[in-house]
Amino acid sequence: MTESITASSGQYLRFQLGAETFACDILQIREILEYHRPTTVPQMPAFVHGVMNLRGSVVPVIDLAQRLGRAPGKVLRRSCIVILQHGAPAQPHPVGMLVDAVHEVIDLHPADIMPPPPFGNQLRADFIAGLAQCDGHCLMLLQMDKVLSLEEMAALARPAGLQIQADIRSVLN
Q: Is residue 4 part of a domain?
A: no
Q: Is residue 119 part of a domain?
A: yes
Q: Is residue 78 part of a domain?
A: yes
Query: Based on the structure, what is the number of domains in the chain?
Result: 1
Above 60 in pLDDT, residue 14? yes
Reduce the secondary structure of 139-160 to three states and give it as a string: EEEECHHHHCCHHHHHHHHCCH
Q: Is residue 164 part of a domain?
A: no
Q: Is residue 168 part of a domain?
A: no
CATH of the domain at 69: 2.40.50.180
C-alpha 159/C-alpha 5 separation (Å) is 36
Above 80 in pLDDT, residue 136? no
CA separation (Å) from 125 to 11, 56, 152? 22, 35, 15
Query: Which residues form the domain of 104?
Result: 10-153
Q: Is residue 2 part of a domain?
A: no
Inter-residue contact 84 to 144 (CB < 8 Å): yes
What's the one-letter identity of residue 119? F
Q: Is residue 165 part of a domain?
A: no
Q: Is residue 166 part of a domain?
A: no
| pLDDT value of position 62 | 94
pTM assigned to the model: 0.78
Q: Which residues contact 107 (CB under 8 A, 6 or more apart)?
A: 10, 11, 12
pLDDT single digits (tens) 62-83: 999 999 888 888 899 999 999 9
pLDDT single digits (tens) 83-111: 998 776 677 789 999 999 999 999 988 88
